[in-house]
Amino acid sequence: MRQEKQKIINWLFLQEIHHTKQLQEIIHESLVLYANLKGIRFDIEQYDETADRKLNLDQKHIVFRILQELTNNTIKYADATLIKLSIHCKNKFCHFEYSDNGKGFNPVKVKKGVGFESIHTRIESYNGKLQFNSKPGKGMKAVFSLPLEYEEKVDVY
């Protein structure tokens, strides 16, 4: 059932991104509304429209998947009431800052599951950078960046 749901979500995303080409619209129509339905305010504090012009379709998909995973984790574990997102592009990188005001966690002690690994792998595949900051009682912040000009990594055996 979960895989079927994921396939539907992927298909809908690709239909939306091909139709609108606006990452901001897709974030609002899916993640913001989903968080709001769960009682969490989701503020897009800064949105650099350069992201829509400079990120390719695959990068937009990766960004959406990362934000989706972060939002799901906030809803499941954080007991947050607010999510904030900022996106800006500068010096050949798009920078994404996602934070919540939830209960936070100790990064050393938290079990890193499939979602965390998925985020890390997606960012790494585009030579991006990722940083998590959190403390118990202080919420969580994830900062990641993707190069606007990238060379896809290829494993050599």
pLDDT tens readout for residues 51-99: 988 888 889 889 999 999 999 999 999 999 999 999 999 989 999 999 9
115 pLDDT band (50/70/90 cuts)?
A: confident
Q: How far is CA 35 from the centre of its chain?
A: 13
43 pLDDT band (50/70/90 cuts)?
A: very high
Mean pLDDT of the chain, nearest integer: 86
Contact 104, 138 (CB under 8 A): yes
3-state secondary structure of 132: strand
Whole-prediction pTM value?
0.84
From start to end of the chain, where are the E strands? Answer: 41-47, 82-90, 93-100, 129-134, 140-147
User: What is the fold of 2-147?
Assistant: Heat Shock Protein 90 (3.30.565)
110 pLDDT higher than 70:
yes
pLDDT in tens, 8-30: 666 666 666 555 568 888 898 88
Contact 136, 105 (CB under 8 A): yes
Contact 96, 143 (CB under 8 A): yes
